[in-house]
């Protein structure tokens, strides 16, 4: 007999990081996309098709993600929002690393709610900014120590990426 699973509502607090970007919006977009390249869907499909060992997947990511992250999706919101008269630009991304995600997924596939990480490059008060929710605070809601450890690792990787991009590294990433 199947036991009935009750619905739950879990409240959790998330820390959003909003970082001023030195230089122009367009220049930062180019630097960000160079530092965090697009996920190779065709390469991944080929790995799946040939039922490659996980070590091949890890090697592919290591070769593809110079700073530990890949872009899985990108949306430039400006053209559509411009139809309503909005002038400010914003580009949103899903950024992550599926080999790191797997180290959490094995404990709880609900991590799919939070990884890849969602981030945005946008204009506020005429200045470009970068925003992302701090990974460890997002993942803490899952209540698993193993996942929290990986969240802290993601915080450190994010801090290193900020350094590469010449962004201020918030103190909360060093906690």
pLDDT in tens, 118-169: 999 999 998 999 999 999 999 999 999 999 999 999 999 999 999 999 999 9
- What is the homologous superfamily of the domain 16-169 according to CATH? TT1751-like domain (3.30.310.70)
Placement of tokens 């094995």 in the chain? 106
Number of neighbours of residue 100 by Cβ within 10 angstroms: 20
Identify the band that residue 3 occupies on the pLDDT scale cut at 50, 70 and 90. Answer: confident
Domain ranges of the chain: 16-169
Q: State the virtual CA torsion across 139, 142, 147, 153 in degrees, nearest 10.
A: 10
Average pLDDT value for the chain: 96
- pTM score, two decimals? 0.93
Interhelix angle 41-49/54-64, nearest 10 degrees:
170
Residue 30 backbone zone (phi > 0: left; psi -120 to 50: alpha; other: beta): alpha
Instruction: Judge contact between 172 and 17, C-beta under 8 A.
Output: yes
Instruction: Judge contact between 90 and 120, C-beta under 8 A.
Output: yes
């Amino acid at each position: 007999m199947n036991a009935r699973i009750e619905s739950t509502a879990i409240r959790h607090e998330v820390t959003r990081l909003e970082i001023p970007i030195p230089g122009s919006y367009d220049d930062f977009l180019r630097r960000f996309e160079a530092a965090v390249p697009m996920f190779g869907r065709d390469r991944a499909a080929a790995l799946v098709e040939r039922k490659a060992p996980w070590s091949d997947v890890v090697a592919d990511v290591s070769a593809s993600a110079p700073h530990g992250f890949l872009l899985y999706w990108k949306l430039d919101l400006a053209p559509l929002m411009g139809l309503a008269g909005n002038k400010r630009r914003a580009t949103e991304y899903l950024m992550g690393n599926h080999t790191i995600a797997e180290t959490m997924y094995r404990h709880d596939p609900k991590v799919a709610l939070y990884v890849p990480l969602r981030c945005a490059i946008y204009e506020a008060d005429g200045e470009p900014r970068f925003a992302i929710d701090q990974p460890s605070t997002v993942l803490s809601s899952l209540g698993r120590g193993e996942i929290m450890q990986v969240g802290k690792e993601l915080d450190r990787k994010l801090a290193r990426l900020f350094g590469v991009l010449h962004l201020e590294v918030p103190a909360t990433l060093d906690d």
